[in-house]
Amino acid sequence: MKTYKTISCLLILILPHLLFSQKRDIEDIKTWKFFKGENKDAYKIDFNDASWQDVQIPHDWAIYGPFNKDIDKQIVKIEQNNEEVATEKTGRTGSLPFIGTGWYRTVLSIPESAEGKQILLTFDGAMSNAEVFLNGKKIGNRPYGYSYFYFDISKELKIGEDNLLAVRLENESQSSRWYPGAGLYRKVQLITKDTVSFKHWGPTITTPYITGEMAKVEIKSKVQGKNVRVETTIKDSTGKAIAFNSNSQRFGDEVEQNIPVEEPNLWSPSHPYLYTAEIKLFKDGELKDSQEMRFGIREFKYTPEGFKLNGKVTKFKGVCLHHDLGPIGTAINKAALKRQLTILKDLGCNAIRSAHNMPSLEQLELADEMGFLVIAESFDEWKKPKVKNGYNQHFDEWAEKDVENLVRATKNHPSIIMWSAGNEVPDQWGSEGVKRLHWLQEIFHREDPTRPVTVGMDQVKAVMENGFGAVLDIPGLNYRVHLYEEARESFPQGFILGSETASTVSSRGIYKFPVKKGHDITYPDLQSSSYDLEYCSWSNIPEEDFVQQDDHDWVLGEFVWTGFDYLGEPTPYDNYWPSRSSYFGMIDLAGIPKDRYYLYRSRWNTEDETLHILPHWNWAGREGEVTPVFVYTSYNKAELFINGKSQGIRIKQKDSLLERYRLMWNEVLYEPGTIKVVAYDENDKPAMEKEIVTAGKPHHLKLEADRTNLTANGEDLSFITVSVVDKDGNVCPTATNQLSFKVDGAGKYRAASNGDPTSLEMFHLPTMKAFSGKLVVLVQSTTDVGEIELSVSGKGLQTGNIKLQSKTINP
């Protein structure tokens, strides 16, 4: 049995976010002019862009729609979905207008104080095929929309003058399998620093030795300039200096320091403790550059006994996440990301796979702070195509450069515990694919010898036969739970990672009768049942993964497809219209948990109790008909009551796949009124109870904000859940009222989403129908300080209001 030795050592990793600097200036380039369409002269200095749209970066030009079934309509056979014939796919990439060319222009004013400095222009991502022009001259390009990249523009800039920066982006048709977004959707920055300084993405911190009493912090800083000295002060989470080192010994372009940290606090999902390293560069006694970085100390290894973090076996309770943020598209927003992670924390989730793209730096910063283990993924395609105009066109020229930048930009995040070189790549077949895997894996190892590499493999029989799975550090299996045992025997590593699991589908608050378990089930309303028994042809219900993880130490855990619904890939309705977003999420596109969320929570969240009942209890016309009741709970036993009458006690059964993890009353006859569940503890004492009542007619609107205090920075968001309720305040679970939104004061309306994968209403317009009685409204701060009020109205309903505060400091 194989343990990955290069990461059995103890690690300390840093967060490359620059929190403070004395000798460098970092400017977010936010204000741009934008034009959707081609214009061959748009890069020229004298081009007139007065009529162009004013936008703020990050920006996704396509999220404003409208939805159109003919946008990127693909006639394709999806082999990953076991399809045998090509069919028309109308919603595969979200049916939003991301195809085509977009131009961005802005002016950089460079002060005379920048004379003699080094100036870098950095992009966290640009979707896609970016061409960058400065003062009418092309300075470079980057085809991959998820890649981080930068240019040294010191020689091209005019110091003391205005400089024109133009970026051309082009998304081709059939270039993606999901909604990729469009535009400068991640931040763009200008970094001005001394020519004697730390190189971009230069510092790396590890610990080759750690005990409960001491951690040896090894800092290797790549520098530019001769006769330099590096000083480092390490601070604890309160800002207190606890260690110091100074060194001028240089090997090549690297200065190495070894610094002891006494009684180290170890980073983990339950204890995401972050230190700070203040690293200064001096030449002849003069401070030339300074960076302040947070870092976390932790050790990990992969063994047949499980993934061990700080010496403790830790199962991956993970989810896969696409990069879109629902109603605001792919434009990165830290408040939206933090809301996602907050919801996942309550779920008990401890890990994220960035599927199938390089993660944003903001997401990694939050993962470090909040405590999530991360698989940082690189590609969905290698040389062999999945889509006609995908990454296969760029693999030979750009794959090595893109992997280098991924690792160099993010390797110091303590949250990252594994790299993924690809997902379900067709290159799994044949010897050429094995060679490509070996080549890519060695690039990752060269850039970062401290972490292993995985690939999400779906062709399990093939990779067992051709050696592909044996080459990998971590064999990741996408689905194929029936092959886990055989794969474990075949592969030398001695363990299996569920790199993508379940693909169970459901629509929030929608239930179908009779209740049945099966794959690729479709209905006339294009919804999937929230009884959580429907899945895809290649996948399974959650319980099949639960059994593998609970019964086998060598199953390291899982990454569920998916945490949140996302735009595009509307399986099982790929061939139907209108259907434009996924059904896979435990949480819908609006960020409202589905029933399945609570099934996972009952296993994953070991700190809090879970008791959840489904379905809702508004079934006019079904009186006397069988309406099964399921309960997801962290308790082993519960009793169901309908209008006070016991329907019996159910106990979880280890020898039954379904009854091992959920409690079911399959013969309940519907009658309106009250449904109540009482959960019992191990001593048969009532421990928790919950009830649902049959709601009356829609009466008024209830508004609940995830945050009531915002920062007046023009970017912060509050997510307000709007529920249609009866006169007693009970949610009306079948309400579909058309609602309208108005924001007054120091904020503005940003978007709304109801979580309905078939809705064609545009997110940015201030009106939308409720779906299963609810929707979510996003209110954005301006730069003004003061009160913000959201009013939500609907015909025949009492208006709902909520007040927020916008402040100058972080709430």
Q: Which residues are catalytic?
A: 424, 500
Strand, coil or helix: 53:
strand
| Residue 380 in tokens | 């969905």
| Residue 512 in tokens | 């179908």
252's CB contacts (< 8 A; 6+ apart) are none
Q: Which helix (H) or strand (E) holds 190?
A: strand 188-193
Q: What value, to the nearest 5°, has the Cα angle with vertex 638 and ends 635 and 643?
A: 140
Q: What value, to the nearest 5°, has the Cα angle with vertex 194 and ends 192 and 200?
A: 65
The 3-state secondary structure of 598-637, one letter per residue:
HHHHHHHCCCCCCEEEECCCCCCCCCCCECCEEEEECCCE
- Cβ distance 661 to 643 under 8 Å? no
Q: How far is CA 133 from each of CA 120, 169, 460, rounded to the nearest angstrom?
A: 14, 12, 45
| Residue 385 in tokens | 């195509």
- Residue type, position 15, single letter: L
- Name 165's bridge partners: 106, 134
Cis peptide upstream of residue 514 (ω within 30 degrees of 0): yes
| Residue 568 in tokens | 């595009």
Q: Which class for 470: exposed (0-12), middle (13-18), buried (19 or more C-beta within 10 A)?
A: middle
For 305-321, give the DSSP string.
TEEEETTEE--EEEEEE
226's CB contacts (< 8 A; 6+ apart) are none
CA 688 to chain centre: 33
- Choose among 623, 673, 677, 621: nearest CA to 647: 677
- Choose among 684, 779, 695, 759: nearest CA to 732: 695
- Choose among 109, 121, 120, 105: nearest CA to 168: 105
- Choose among 239, 189, 184, 196: nearest CA to 221: 196
